[in-house]
Amino acid sequence: MSPRQTRRKEPLSLYNNPPGAHSTKPMIKYATGKNARKSIRRLTGKDKNYRKRIAMRMYYRAKFHKNQTQGMRNAMKVWKSYIDSI
């Protein structure tokens, strides 16, 4: 490692891509129930606290969205049941 490079010391957050990732597509979604279920599958294997934080964030984004749709209401049900199961 060159002198200018430093190792990453802070933990990865919701908006940071993991090292080596080339995609900027959001992986966690809340627009429909189907998207919520796919997002939950992507969360498997992650830390319990991380999963709960993400699930609560997506639930409340859908709940307080300015232009809430029926799909978001369905996603809220999916996220709420996931939060309760954690």
pTM value > 0.85: no
The sign of the dihedral angle between the CA atoms of 31, 11, 46, 80 is negative
pLDDT tens string 8-46: 566 656 666 666 655 556 689 999 999 999 999 999 999
pLDDT band, residue 84 (cuts 50/70/90)? very high
pLDDT tens string 40-65: 999 999 999 999 999 999 999 999 99
Q: Where are the domains of the chain?
A: 33-85
Whole-number Å distance between alpha carbons of 86 and 48: 7
Angle at 45 between CA 76 and CA 24, to 5 degrees: 70
Contact 31, 70 (CB under 8 A): no
